[in-house]
Amino acid sequence: MFQGNQAINMDAKGRMAIPAMHRDALASACGGRIVMTAHTEDRCILIYPEPEWQDILPKIEALPTFNKAALRAQRLLLGYACAMELDSNGRVLVPPTLRNYANLDKKLMLVGMGKKFELWSEESWWASVADLDVDEELPAEMLSLSL
């Protein structure tokens, strides 16, 4: 389970290093093989351990293509999906198309989201968490949650 957030840097070649605490978990979960793709709602990147991606891939492929919202989600999730492998130093190259999609520059924020990560530009991350004006109602599952 991935949780917490870490400020990390991307080098001039577009490589980022996965922090050691997550690198070990990724190594045991998937041998360092990951899939990066576009988030459908936010300008960030989703990073899945390969086995997790393989579990949700059939669900994405099964979405109805005559529904415009579902087709858009397929185009983003499948169209941007890139299988990658961490190198021996725990680094991975973020593909240029995904860097452009998420407006990534040198300063990044890696956020653990349970079974996956989100990768944000640091600026976009702080803007997102500062945005307290949420237009949507909380789902019923949240209303019954005690923290």
Q: What's the chain's length in residues?
A: 147
Binned at pLDDT 50, 70 and 90, residue 135 comes out as low
Task: Please tell me the predicted confidence (pLDDT) of residue 134.
Answer: 65
pLDDT, one tens digit per residue, over 101-134 is 999 999 999 999 999 999 999 999 999 988 766 6
Q: What does the alpha-carbon distance between residue 39 and residue 68 come to, in Å, rounded to a whole number? A: 17
Tokens 């973020």 locate to 94
> pLDDT tens across 19-34, in order?
998 999 898 889 999 9
Residue 10 DSSP code:
B
Cα→Cα distances 109→22, 69, 128, Å: 14, 28, 12
Taking only the tens place, the pLDDT of each residue in 45-57 is 999 999 999 999 9
Coil, helix or strand at residue 33: strand
Cβ neighbors of 82 (< 8 A, separation 6 or more) are 35, 36, 37, 95, 98
Domains and CATH numbers, the chain: 2-143 (3.40.1550.20)
